[in-house]
Amino acid sequence: MSGYNLPKTYDFSAIEEPLYKWWEERGYFKPWNDPNLPNFDPSHKPFVISIPPPNVTGELHLGHAMFVAMEDLMIRYHRMKGEPTLWVPGTDHAGIATQLLVERELAKEGLRREQLGREAFLKRVWAWKEKYGGIITRQIRRLGASCDWSRERFTLDEGLSRAVREAFVRLYEKGLIYRGLRMINWSPGLRTAVSDLEVEYSEEPGTLYYFKYVLDDDPNTYIPVATTRPETILGDTAVAVNPQDERYTSFIGRKVRVPILGRLIPIIADSYVDPGFGTGALKVTPAHDPNDYQIALRHNLEIINIMTEEARINEAGGPYAGLDRFECRKKLWEDMRAADLVIKEEPYTITVPRSQRGGEIIEPRLSEQWFVRIKPLADAALQAVREGRIRIIPDRFTKIYYNWMENIQDWCISRQLWWGHRIPVWYCDDCGAMTVAREDPTSCATCGSPHIHQDEDVLDTWFSSGLWPFSTLGWPEETPDYKYFYPTSVLETGYDILFFWVARMIMFGLEFTGREPFHTVYLHGLIRDEHGQKMSKTKGNVIDPLEVMNQMGTDALRFTLLVGSTPGNDINLSLKKVEANRNFANKVWNAGRFVIGALDSCPPAPQSSPQWTLADSWIWARLQNLLREVERLFESYQFGEAGRQIYDFFWSEFADWYIEIAKLQLAQGGDRAFYTAYTLVRVLDACLRLLHPFTPFVTESLWGHLKQAAQSKSELLAPKEGWAEALIIARWPEPHPPEDWEEEKTEHFAMVQDIIRAIRNVRTEKKVPPARKIPAVIVAGDHAEMLYEQSQIIAALAGVSTEELQILKDRATRSGNEIALVARGIEIYIPLANLIDFEAERARLQKELAEAEQQISRLEVLLAGPFAERAPAQIVEKERQKLETFRETAARLRDQLRALDQ
């Protein structure tokens, strides 16, 4: 049996890499993936996914593994459905993250980027990208990602850069991009602006500092003020109170002195101030607080910036100039205490804005930046989802999306970095006018002067990612790819970047292409450790997907991620789960070995028409049921549930029952053996196809062996059209319409199963040695004939001796010297007189009888009530039959109890 030449344990490490190479070389990842078919068929609707581009310098983590598993699943499924399928891969330049990495490298050499200058620095980054940029894509291949690498893109590629320019200029020309002085979030460490989304707020224990603002006209009187950031006192330009606040009415319009600095600032009235909070008086620092800035605008206050780009105090801070913001806080407070300006300190929980990258504390800062006027874009994006042109799965994120879109603020898109798309704006040194252009200009568009210089800033990375679904296909050119593959189909990613990325793609897609960039958004959850903790290096609970793949194989990891998750819900991953799925891959492998072995030894194709056994029919019916279920589940994006059902079918029906029975049928030889092999092949083949999107490697590998074995056997086993040259491009199995016989065969087989289980159960209970065959009498009424045909199977699987198995329609006498069982109304007697403990038997039978009677009365009540009239006839009938069976069972149990008493 050549099937047994395959290794006994599935050896993924020998299989995965060559298989992936083969797929790629054969061109299966391309949309026209069958090498035997013509190259382009525009009449087919394509299925397209753009990869969420990982950071070019990133390293594989479970988030990547998750999206690859999900997207590759969808891609492989649609490919097998025969659709032209394209998965566009690529990477993101990831401005901040990458620049930070390179700057850190420089720091090791004692260098800062300013010392190198822009050109030289960018050269370094590109060199870095060339060196490490391939790592992540290699790792993604390792996961089995079947993307079309010939179409790989990078956000800083020439084509994509052109798209970015085009987008910027179009928005600018429409008046949707503007430059202005605004309060933005400033990252002192990176010395750049960041967007609202890049700031995370954390509740932290802090202090509320109370101090005195002394009145200029009455040095003995002061107005008490509280702040969480004393250093900002240096930039105060007013103290505000609520106009309704009677405590302070007399102060309004008078002046106070800024502590230490001695500047005179006014006390003003503004209804923004909450009289109930703190002291009811608010210090106003327009340059360092967004609310204060608004107040300043209303009252025309002076705006004093007291901090440098690195959040040190500048010359406006007088004696504190040069100090770091937190040093200053300490020093200033001490000085104020010495000057008797301190009232008290109170512990206070403050909401600290921190950078998403690195966690440093963000400073609100007034500065000149570029913004996208987002409202018009957001409105269109809102419409697209409201009108169902884009569907978000799971549905609950739709609300979150609405909420964000409805309250969206203008998007700060300029970054004071060097690594990224430089803003295509030039300033004239002579007339000062701006030139915004698609191509680098040589002169000022307004005055014609050649003395122009480009804006120093680059664009937010997400600006280019927002164009990803169409920029990767060639936009703004009307390339064949763009025309055919755009819009894409499904956008799949983690819910954590719904706003960062998904929302922006929708806005940009609608704005620039006039179409929704995809019709469906599928969001997966975050991956946590086995107890739901976030994975982090400090906690030491990080699972490295590469490690997992090395240990258990790619299929095991993929299957775990897919089956262990439901849309939008976080998944708690543990190695135990992966291990269980590695075992599954091994199970599949071994079932395959068995089937291939069966093929090798089975007789040639018969002339006669097939005669199916109950088991054959049953497994076929169950397979059809599975195909229907999987189809339904895939349609509704319930991939995890689909995987689970395939798993269950494969293991507990196909392997546990059909294969066991197949051994008996094969042993009969002749036509029976052939048709058994035929069924084995059919079912295994279908399972491999169904599993392929989940576990591509073990299925492809096994399928190749199976195909070979089947083809060398007979045309019947391997009809040409069914067996493509690779599983990856083989057809997805379609279910047959349900047929009448299916229900009956399923029912009958369930009976056989229950009888076998009942006997096995009693064997274990009575501690019958496994090898010992026992006698049994089955009394089955109308089912006797059907069961008689299954007697071999019952005997073999239940450990009953074939000679001593009787299957009767009825039996006049019952002896007390038998163990009596009832399964589905069928009686089973095991004459094991020496093993019978009469008391225990009576107790057991009585317990079973009680259970049956309880069910009977429950069902009687149910069927006598309104249920019978109101519930659908089918459901009622089902319950009626159940009641019948229980009555039957109860009657048999009573017989047996009586027999026991004789």
Partner RNA sequence: GGGCGGAUAGCUCAGUAGGUUAGAGCGCCUCCCUUACAAGGAGGAGGUCAUGGGUUCGAGUCCCGUUCCGCCCACCA
Residues 638-657 that bind RNA (CB under 7 A): 638, 640-641, 644, 648, 651, 655-656
Residues 868-897 that bind RNA (CB under 7 A): 870-872, 875, 878-879, 882, 886
Smallest separation (angstroms) from RNA to the CB of 565: 7
Judged by CB under 7 A, the stretch of 88-96, 138-146, 225-233, 417-425 that binds RNA is 225-233
Nearer to RNA, 449 or 746 (CB): 746
Smallest separation (angstroms) from RNA to the CB of 648: 7
Query: Of 765, 785, 804, 877, which lies in the binding site for RNA, with binding defined by CB under 7 A?
Result: 765
Residue 291 near RNA by CB under 7 A: yes
Nearer to RNA, 389 or 534 (CB): 534
Residues 770-829 that bind RNA (CB under 7 A): 770
Residues 380-399 that bind RNA (CB under 7 A): 394, 396, 399
Residues 577-596 that bind RNA (CB under 7 A): 577, 579-580, 582-583, 585-587, 590-591, 593-594
Residue type, 187: S
Nearer to RNA, 83 or 289 (CB): 289
The number of residues that bind RNA (CB under 7 A) is: 97
Residues 702-731 that bind RNA (CB under 7 A): none
Phi, psi of 61 (to 5 degrees): -130, 180
Do residues 789 and 749 touch, judged by C-beta distance below 8 A? no
Query: Of 37, 315, 865, 877, which lies in the binding site for RNA, with binding defined by CB under 7 A?
Result: 865
Smallest separation (angstroms) from RNA to the CB of 194: 13
Residues 728-757 that bind RNA (CB under 7 A): 757
As to burial, measured by CB atoms within 10 angstroms (0-12 exposed, 13-18 middle, 19+ buried), residue 39 is: exposed
Residue 853 near RNA by CB under 7 A: no
Residue 499 near RNA by CB under 7 A: yes
As to burial, measured by CB atoms within 10 angstroms (0-12 exposed, 13-18 middle, 19+ buried), residue 874 is: exposed
Judged by CB under 7 A, the stretch of 54-62, 172-180, 250-258, 862-870 that binds RNA is 862-870
Nearer to RNA, 585 or 793 (CB): 585
The number of residues making up the chain comes to 902
Residue 13 near RNA by CB under 7 A: no
The Cβ of residue 138 has, within 10 Å, a number of other Cβ atoms equal to 9
Do residues 325 and 312 touch, judged by C-beta distance below 8 A? yes
Write the interaction track for RNA spanning residues 76-105; mark x where CB under 7 A is met and - where it is not.
------------------------------
DSSP string of 590-655, one letter each residue: HHHHHHHHHHHHSPPPPSSPP---HHHHHHHHHHHHHHHHHHHHHHTT-HHHHHHHHHHIIIIIII
Q: Which long-range contacts (CB under 8 A, 24 or more apart) does 378-386 make?
A: 378/405, 378/406, 378/408, 378/507, 380/507, 380/510, 380/511, 381/405, 381/503, 381/506, 381/507, 381/510, 382/406, 384/506, 384/510, 384/516, 385/506
Residues 452-471 that bind RNA (CB under 7 A): none
Binding-site residue set: 537
Q: Which residue has the tokens 């083949």?
A: 685
Nearer to RNA, 6 or 417 (CB): 6
Residues 552-571 that bind RNA (CB under 7 A): 564-567, 569, 571
Smallest separation (angstroms) from RNA to the CB of 250: 18
Write the interaction track for RNA spanning residues 33-62; mark x where CB under 7 A is met and - where it is not.
------------------------------
Nearest alpha carbon to residue 146 among 86, 63, 62: 86
Residues 398-437 that bind RNA (CB under 7 A): 399-400, 403-404, 407
Nearer to RNA, 479 or 566 (CB): 566
Write the interaction track for RNA spanning residues 237-276; mark x where CB under 7 A is met and - where it is not.
-----------------------------------xxxxx
As to burial, measured by CB atoms within 10 angstroms (0-12 exposed, 13-18 middle, 19+ buried), residue 107 is: exposed
Smallest separation (angstroms) from RNA to the CB of 838: 21
Cα three-residue angle 121-126-129, rounded to 5 degrees: 130
Do residues 698 and 588 touch, judged by C-beta distance below 8 A? yes
d(CA 426, CA 441) in angstroms, rounded, equals 8
Judged by CB under 7 A, the stretch of 172-180, 286-294, 441-449, 450-458 that binds RNA is 286-294
Nearer to RNA, 291 or 708 (CB): 291
Judged by CB under 7 A, the stretch of 57-65, 314-322, 376-384, 863-871 that binds RNA is 863-871
Residues 318-357 that bind RNA (CB under 7 A): 350-351
Smallest separation (angstroms) from RNA to the CB of 557: 13
d(CA 702, CA 707) in angstroms, rounded, equals 8
Smallest separation (angstroms) from RNA to the CB of 499: 7
Smallest separation (angstroms) from RNA to the CB of 390: 18
Which helix (H) or strand (E) covers residue 404, if one does? helix 396-406
Nearer to RNA, 428 or 527 (CB): 527
Query: Of 174, 483, 632, 898, which lies in the binding site for RNA, with binding defined by CB under 7 A?
Result: 632
Nearer to RNA, 200 or 315 (CB): 200
d(CA 421, CA 459) in angstroms, rounded, equals 6
Do residues 708 and 595 touch, judged by C-beta distance below 8 A? no
d(CA 901, CA 895) in angstroms, rounded, equals 10
DSSP string of 329-361, one letter each residue: HHHHHHHHHHTT-EEEEEEEEEEEEEETTT-PB
Nearer to RNA, 140 or 268 (CB): 268
Query: Of 250, 668, 712, 764, which lies in the binding site for RNA, with binding defined by CB under 7 A?
Result: 764
Q: Which residue has the tokens 């010392």?
A: 115
Residue type, 55: N
d(CA 509, CA 8) in angstroms, rounded, equals 52
SS3 801: strand
Residues 597-626 that bind RNA (CB under 7 A): 597
d(CA 499, CA 515) in angstroms, rounded, equals 19
Smallest separation (angstroms) from RNA to the CB of 53: 21
Residue 761 near RNA by CB under 7 A: yes
Nearer to RNA, 221 or 291 (CB): 291
As to burial, measured by CB atoms within 10 angstroms (0-12 exposed, 13-18 middle, 19+ buried), residue 536 is: exposed
Nearer to RNA, 446 or 761 (CB): 761
Do residues 231 and 289 touch, judged by C-beta distance below 8 A? no
Do residues 268 and 279 touch, judged by C-beta distance below 8 A? no
Query: Of 174, 337, 386, 663, which lies in the binding site for RNA, with binding defined by CB under 7 A?
Result: 663
Residues 509-548 that bind RNA (CB under 7 A): 528, 530-532, 534
Nearer to RNA, 452 or 596 (CB): 596
Binding-site residue set for ATP: 537
Nearest alpha carbon to residue 372 among 462, 474, 497: 462
Q: Which residue has the tokens 């009622």?
A: 876
d(CA 880, CA 874) in angstroms, rounded, equals 10
Query: Of 269, 605, 832, 862, which lies in the binding site for RNA, with binding defined by CB under 7 A?
Result: 862
Find the helix packing angle between 791-798 and 660-667, rounded to 10°.
120
d(CA 699, CA 56) in angstroms, rounded, equals 31
Nearer to RNA, 4 or 838 (CB): 4
Residues 149-208 that bind RNA (CB under 7 A): 196-197, 200-201
Which helix (H) or strand (E) covers residue 754, if one does? helix 741-765
Which token pair is 479?
A: 């390339």
